């Protein structure tokens, strides 16, 4: 199945339009400003000298590159002169500082001539190049200006020489995957097959040659951290650093599709299944521990010390979208929907200016949020959003995700148009034009009108237990497939009641607990609405919920979704460490649930997704 | 208050008599045999040469010394010719290998002349000396043979010279506390005040001079690991390695009592309170993480990855007994009772031959028992008991604990005899003679007859919600104090129903869960009785329990306590990672609870203390 690019899709109104406008009007410039404050843009000129502050960092280029990619997507949708000028100036700085003979570019290494290049696997040079390529490809598509892409292609040629042709580099595969998937995009944008070959080379070398370790972490983690303990085509599980794993698997899916490599495709599918069905938080968060920013084991999903980096959820969307090329299965779009509405979106504040790096499923400001066993704290505060981080990968990832959310709506397989995601929108591609009129996910009614297609395949979301479709259909791999005639309106009605959810009985952390969902959106409780010690409240599985407009909680940018009122039981135990259970006093109290993605927008307060079941 | 030594107390019958006979008839020799197999006894001769296998370890002396101490206690009670001969031969080997001029002894360092002595704080030389002193003092008390104690006193003199007088040693305070409390015992046994002074010196130096770190662990842990980040008299919390912390605090309590040091006593009390009321598992286990074998933070009490070393529970008993000298408060005897019947005793198999090093509160053989975040596994198997460990501190600690359980029964304060613990026994000390006739803890009826005391103070256990006493009494700090006349029988009846317990609402791990206790004994469920996924079963707080003879579960050495029958709800969720809560199917099924200390005596199986509350 072919994925339809967001450039063919226009979000018209509703939930995602609100978020896209926020990025256009606030977030893109806010991230630029913070990156300027912290020296990231100035560093592009590569004029740093010892003693200057701040000193460029090995991964700063990637932060800027992702921001450039996001700005390109905004420009593709509509003009934005200020953002264009800022971006173009940054690109000019990169191009004028690039090494003339090799094409090499890195704002750290070009200002630190004594630091040996392409020698330390963990030092992010190839990661930065990957993001620069993605930014350059996007810039070319948006503006037609090809110089940035050509310049990065030259650097890619140099990498090909050092890593593949002459093998003079100090390691074999990128320590932080990203270049692999970027090379696929570069190959497609330039038509140069050898970039695809280079991407395949890196995929094939993974887990084969381990002569260079990662270096920074303890030994136990080295190989698994990089999913490098065995060849990728032999993998059954997703392991190690969660963002890196998904970036790498995105390229695995690309290469499997490009080379029609069934063995590699099967490995990618096994890893997807392991991620989605054994190691995924209900929020679409991934990575159970901030030690190594990593996956741990099946069903190990601790809530308070969850790592669940914003980038990991975003990267799952990248991976799952590519899996759609290999196989028709609504599981991929289900995963995408879950991360988009929950674990990815939770990374952005409602005002569009601040971010979370980590998105736990339980917050207790009074409790030590370190990993208890090791006393290692989270990387960044998890009770208050920040405008920029030392390692600020997540903010520009949000900037490039949201303007491109149209990427996830459609697929085309022969004469069948697949509708993966629902959003008020219009699109035109391959002779097809299609409109969706809907308030989704505020409700589950979607009216669709299509021209130029014989069949429509409408995803019936995994969360949906009951739906009606206005035309006859058959089910195929999670999609309701109907014959369509040009211009006829089809109406899909997805029942969207509030549902309490239970986790698999193997998930220790959620045993005896339930979570609240409404459609694809996971809800949570916050202390600001519900008082303290949320983790000892009890909620009945059949609790009745009343919907309220979310403006009762949020003055500005209130999500276009209701908040929920219900009743919970508050339990008070005596002050002793252990007391007879009969001494615990219970009392019914009113409670409010808000969309999980909107947590921590009203000051530092407790938060909880999984509530004890009454 | 004066603590009465076990040498004045004879356990006659019942629960502890069964365990003492087991140690006398099985455990003492079994530990000897495993220590012989592994070279620990042969190593005492200090004849190891490079290339020989096995190579002595820096802490082996301590294993033997604790075994010697336990054998001494057995000899004190009744002759045991074989054990005497084996012990005496070991002592002879130590004495003949001891360095003539200095008195130095360590089976590792004396065979590794190139390894610098008394230089590495973490290398256990002073820890070994402490245990050798405790063994030697006990041996002298049991046999009247003074040579071992005199030899170890000579080594202590050398330590005084190197650490205190001349300060030529490579560090200041012992990396593994133990010597401090041993020096107090040596001072009392020899009448030499300067050993007390040396103990006080080490206590005073703690947290003052940090010029030498521990070395083996990561930096984060160094100071806290050793409770060395600040002076002991400034402490508010118990931290770091849990066994070391309690050994150190035992000496703190000793020194506070000996020097009437109120500031030090207050610090010891704060640490006791922090341990007992914020950081103690309901089983009397201590240490929430096997990383650093350490305390983590208040109310952080994860069940499956609990560290809870057998030695830590034993060491709490040592500490709490010494606290009784400083202050009259039944909290100390409550803590002692909790550890004796639960977290300490769980370290010994019912057949007396095998041990646990770690005693978690939940076992799931199908689930990875590593610390999920770091993938660091437990030190030793936690699903199957072993007869010996590489680091085999726990087995001989059990050997010295159980024969001396009489240590915990009585205190004397003026003309008041304090009865801290209940056990069928007779005792004579300081002109007092006292007998207890009871099946405790099989039931809560205790008949007491005393001669030579004016008042009896009977502890009303913290777990006891209702009791009757056959004579008038007043309550004083947890004790029922009554006037007594010589030879009159007093009857105490402690109501001992099965009670479901809840943890403080700050304990995340136990939120929504209840535990089952009967008197001082914590119960657990095992998979062999109750099937799989115990952690998702639900138990009503007001469940009705039926008592059965424990022989229905255990063919030999069945605990002199009932097992419990009740009904729980088994829950089956669909196979998906997340499903609607209403899809979870519940079914009432019969369930059995056994005493926690008896877990893992019937093969590898799940186990759980905290059960979801229905």
pLDDT tens per residue, range A447-461 = 999 999 999 999 999
**What pLDDT shows up at residue B171?**
86
Contacts (Cβ under 8 Å, ≥6 apart) of A123: A58, A175
Q: Report all structural domains of chain A as residue ranges with CATH numbers, in order of start.
A: 40-205 (no CATH), 237-405 (no CATH), 410-440+444-494 (2.60.420), 498-613 (no CATH)
Q: Which long-range contacts (CB under 8 A, 24 or more apart) does A419-422 make?
A: A419/A448, A419/A456, A419/A457, A419/A458, A419/A459, A420/A324, A420/A330, A420/A332, A420/A333, A420/A336, A420/A459, A421/A333, A421/A336, A421/A337, A421/A340, A421/A459, A422/A446, A422/A492, A422/A494
Has A393 been annotated as catalytic?
Answer: yes
A435: preceding bond cis by omega (within 30 degrees)? no
CB contact, 8 Å: A577 with chain B? yes
**Which chain B residues touch A613 with a CB distance below 8 Å?**
512, 581
Contacts (Cβ under 8 Å, ≥6 apart) of B17: B11, B424
- Between CA A396 and CA A138 the distance in angstroms is 14
Beta pairing, strands A416-419 & A410-413? antiparallel
**Which chain B residues touch A304 with a CB distance below 8 Å?**
508
Å between A491 CA and nearest CA of chain B: 26
CB contact, 8 Å: A499 with chain B? yes
CB contact under 8 A, A277 and B612: no
- Between CA B65 and CA B81 the distance in angstroms is 18
Q: Which residue has the higher pLDDT, B63 or A367?
A: B63
Helix (H, G, I), strand (E, B) or coil at B580: strand
- pLDDT surpasses 60 at A214: no
Which of B373, B462, B496 to probe by mutation at the A interface, max A CB count within 10 Å? B373
Q: Kindly state the tokens that stand for B439.
A: 């099946």
Residue of A nearest to B376 (CA): A220
CB contact under 8 A, A373 and B578: no
**What pLDDT shows up at residue A283?**
98
Q: pLDDT by residue (tens digit) across A137-147?
A: 999 999 999 99
CB contact under 8 A, A375 and B575: no
CB contact, 8 Å: A276 with chain B? yes
Q: Residue B364: which pLDDT band, with cuts at 50, 70 and 90? A: confident
Helix (H, G, I), strand (E, B) or coil at B56: coil
Q: pLDDT by residue (tens digit) across A285-324?
A: 999 887 778 888 899 898 988 889 999 999 999 999 999 9
Q: pLDDT by residue (tens digit) across B377-393?
A: 666 777 788 898 888 99
Mean pLDDT, to the nearest integer, of A52-79? 97
- pLDDT surpasses 60 at A217: no
Beta pairing, strands A562-572 & A578-580? unpaired
**What pLDDT shows up at residue B393?**
92
Q: Which residue has the higher pLDDT, B208 or A50?
A: A50
Å between B535 CA and nearest CA of chain A: 7
* Stretch (H or E) spanning B11: strand B9-11
The Cβ-side half-sphere exposure at A69, using a 13 Å CA radius, reads: 26
Q: Is the ipTM of this complex over 0.95?
A: no
Whole-number percent of chain A with pLDDT over 90: 85
**What pLDDT shows up at residue B304?**
86
- pLDDT surpasses 90 at B455: yes
- Between CA A438 and CA A424 the distance in angstroms is 5
Q: Which of B373, B501, B612 sits opposite A291 (nearest CB)?
A: B373
Q: Residue A219: which pLDDT band, with cuts at 50, 70 and 90? A: very low
Q: Which of B282, B364, B505 sits opposite A536 (nearest CB)?
A: B505
Cα B301 to chain centroid distance, Å, stands at 18
Has B393 been annotated as catalytic?
Answer: yes
Mean pLDDT, to the nearest integer, of B284-313? 89
**What pLDDT shows up at residue A548?**
97
Q: What is the 3-state secondary structure (H, E, C) of A473-524?
A: CEEECCEEEEECCCCCEEEEEECCCEEEEEECCCCHHHCCEEEEEECCEEEE
Helix (H, G, I), strand (E, B) or coil at A87: helix
In the stretch 104-123 of chain B, residues with CB closer than 8 A to chain A read: none
Q: Residue A377: which pLDDT band, with cuts at 50, 70 and 90? A: low
- Between CA A410 and CA A513 the distance in angstroms is 36
CB contact, 8 Å: A579 with chain B? yes
CB contact under 8 A, A508 and B282: no
First to last CA, chain A: 45
Confirm if B196 and B184 have CB atoms less than 8 A apart.
yes
Strand order through the sheet with A479-483: A2-3, A410-413, A416-419, A455-459, A479-483, A474-476
Confirm if A416 and A348 have CB atoms less than 8 A apart.
no
Confirm if A140 and A148 have CB atoms less than 8 A apart.
yes
- pLDDT surpasses 90 at A261: yes
Tell which residue, A123, A142, A141, A56, has the closest CA to residue A94: A56
Among A413-417, B304-308, B487-491, B594-598, which stretch is predicted with the lowest mean pLDDT?
B304-308
Tell which residue, B238, B138, B237, B121, has the closest CA to residue B186: B138
Q: Which of B289, B511, B584 sits opposite A535 (nearest CB)?
A: B511
Integer-rounded Cα radius of gyration of chain B? 24
Confirm if B609 and B282 have CB atoms less than 8 A apart.
yes
User: From residue B234, how far is each of B206, B207, B247 by CA, in Å?
Assistant: 11, 10, 17
Q: pLDDT by residue (tens digit) across B181-215?
A: 999 999 999 999 999 999 999 999 987 754 444 33
Q: Kindly state the tokens that stand for A450.
A: 């299509």
- Between CA B337 and CA B460 the distance in angstroms is 12
Among A221-225, A367-371, A509-513, B324-328, which stretch is predicted with the lowest mean pLDDT?
A367-371
Q: What is the DSSP string of B150-179?
A: HHHHHHHHHHIIIIIIS--SS-SS-SS--H
**What pLDDT shows up at residue A215?**
36
Å between A221 CA and nearest CA of chain B: 8
Provide the β-strand partners of residue B448.
Answer: B436, B490
Confirm if B229 and B245 have CB atoms less than 8 A apart.
no
Integer-rounded Cα radius of gyration of chain A? 24
CB contact, 8 Å: B555 with chain A? no
For B53-165, list the strands marked E by DSSP.
none
Mean pLDDT, to the nearest integer, of B300-328? 95
**Which chain A residues touch B296 with a CB distance below 8 Å?**
368, 372-373, 375
In the stretch 381-440 of chain A, residues with CB closer than 8 A to chain B read: none
**What pLDDT shows up at residue B211?**
40
- With both helix axes pointing from N to C terminus, report the angle between B179-190 and B193-205 in degrees, rounded to the nearest 10: 160
- Between CA B137 and CA B130 the distance in angstroms is 11
Confirm if A13 and A424 have CB atoms less than 8 A apart.
yes
- Tally the residues of chain B: 614
CB contact under 8 A, A505 and B571: yes
In the stretch 449-488 of chain A, residues with CB closer than 8 A to chain B read: 465
- Between CA A197 and CA A183 the distance in angstroms is 9
Beta pairing, strands B2-3 & B425-429? unpaired
Q: Which residue has the higher pLDDT, A372 or A352?
A: A352
Mean pLDDT, to the nearest integer, of A211-221? 38
Q: Which of B278, B291, B371 sits opposite A577 (nearest CB)?
A: B278
Chains A, B: CB contacts under 8 A, how many?
A: 178
Q: Residue B228: which pLDDT band, with cuts at 50, 70 and 90? A: confident
Which of B218, B283, B299, B502 to probe by mutation at the A interface, max A CB count within 10 Å? B502
CB contact, 8 Å: B4 with chain A? no
Confirm if A86 and A143 have CB atoms less than 8 A apart.
no
Confirm if B66 and B393 have CB atoms less than 8 A apart.
yes
- Between CA B510 and CA A474 the distance in angstroms is 48
Q: Residue B266: which pLDDT band, with cuts at 50, 70 and 90? A: very high
Helix (H, G, I), strand (E, B) or coil at A300: coil
Q: pLDDT by residue (tens digit) across A239-249?
A: 989 999 999 99
Q: Which of B393, B394, B464, B524 is catalytic?
A: B393
């Amino acid at each position: 199945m072919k994925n339809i690019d967001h450039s063919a899709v226009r979000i018209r109104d509703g939930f995602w339009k609100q978020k896209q406008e926020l990025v256009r009007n606030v977030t893109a410039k806010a991230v630029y400003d913070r990156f300027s404050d912290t020296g990231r843009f100035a560093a592009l000129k590569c004029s740093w000298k010892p003693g200057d502050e701040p000193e460029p960092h090995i991964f700063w280029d990637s932060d800027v590159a992702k921001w450039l990619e996001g700005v390109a997507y905004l420009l593709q949708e509509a003009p934005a002169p200020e953002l264009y000028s800022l971006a173009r100036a940054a690109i000019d700085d990169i191009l004028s500082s690039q090494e003339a003979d090799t094409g090499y570019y890195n704002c750290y290494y070009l200002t630190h001539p004594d630091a040996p290049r392409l020698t330390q696997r963990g030092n992010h040079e190839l990661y930065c190049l990957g993001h620069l390529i993605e930014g350059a490809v996007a810039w070319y598509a948006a503006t037609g200006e090809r110089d940035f892409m050509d310049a990065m292609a030259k650097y890619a040629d140099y990498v090909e020489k050092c890593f593949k042709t002459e093998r003079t580099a100090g390691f074999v595969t990128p320590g932080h995957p990203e270049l692999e998937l970027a090379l696929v995009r570069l190959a497609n944008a330039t038509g140069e097959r050898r970039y695809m070959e280079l991407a395949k080379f890196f995929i094939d070398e993974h887990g084969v040659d381990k002569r260079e370790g990662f270096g920074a972490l303890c030994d136990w983690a080295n190989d698994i951290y990089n999913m490098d303990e065995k060849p990728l085509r032999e993998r059954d599980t997703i392991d190690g650093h969660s963002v890196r794993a998904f970036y790498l698997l995105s390229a695995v899916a690309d290469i499997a599709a490009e080379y029609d490599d069934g063995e590699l495709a099967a490995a990618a599918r096994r890893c997807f299944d392991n991620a989605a069905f054994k190691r995924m938080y209900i929020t679409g968060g991934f990575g159970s521990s901030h030690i190594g920013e990593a996956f741990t084991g099946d069903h190990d999903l601790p809530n308070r010390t969850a790592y669940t980096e914003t980038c990991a959820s975003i990267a799952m969307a990248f991976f799952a979208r590519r899996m759609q090329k290999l196989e028709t299965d609504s599981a991929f779009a289900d995963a995408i929907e879950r991360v988009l509405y929950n674990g990815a979106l939770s990374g952005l504040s409602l005002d569009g200016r601040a971010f979370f790096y980590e998105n736990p499923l339980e917050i207790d400001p009074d409790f030590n949020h370190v990993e208890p066993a090791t006393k290692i704290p989270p990387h960044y505060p998890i009770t208050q959003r920040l405008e920029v981080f030392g390692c600020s990968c997540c903010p520009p990832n949000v900037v490039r995700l949201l303007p491109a959310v149209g990427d996830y709506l459609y697929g085309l397989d022969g004469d069948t148009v697949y509708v993966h995601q629902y959003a008020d929108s219009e699109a035109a591609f391959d002779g097809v034009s299609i409109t969706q009129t809907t308030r989704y996910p505020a409700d589950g009614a979607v009216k669709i009108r299509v021209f130029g297609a014989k069949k429509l395949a409408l995803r019936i979301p995994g969360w949906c237990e009951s739906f009606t479709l206005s035309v006859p259909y058959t089910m195929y791999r999670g999609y309701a497939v109907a014959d369509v005639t040009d211009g006829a309106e089809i109406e899909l009605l997805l029942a969207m009641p509030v549902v309490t959810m239970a986790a698999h009985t193997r998930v220790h952390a959620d045993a005896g607990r339930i979570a609240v969902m409404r459609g694809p959106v996971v809800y949570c409780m916050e202390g600001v609405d519900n008082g303290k010690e949320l983790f000892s409240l009890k909620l009945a599985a059949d609790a009745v919920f009343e919907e309220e407009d979310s403006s009762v909680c949020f003055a500005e940018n209130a999500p276009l979704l209701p908040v929920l009122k219900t009743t919970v039981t508050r339990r008070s135990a005596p002050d002793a460490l252990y007391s007879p259970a009969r001494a615990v006093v219970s009392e019914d109290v009113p409670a409010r649930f808000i969309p999980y993605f909107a947590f921590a927008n009203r000051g530092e307060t407790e938060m909880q997704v999984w509530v004890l079941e009454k």
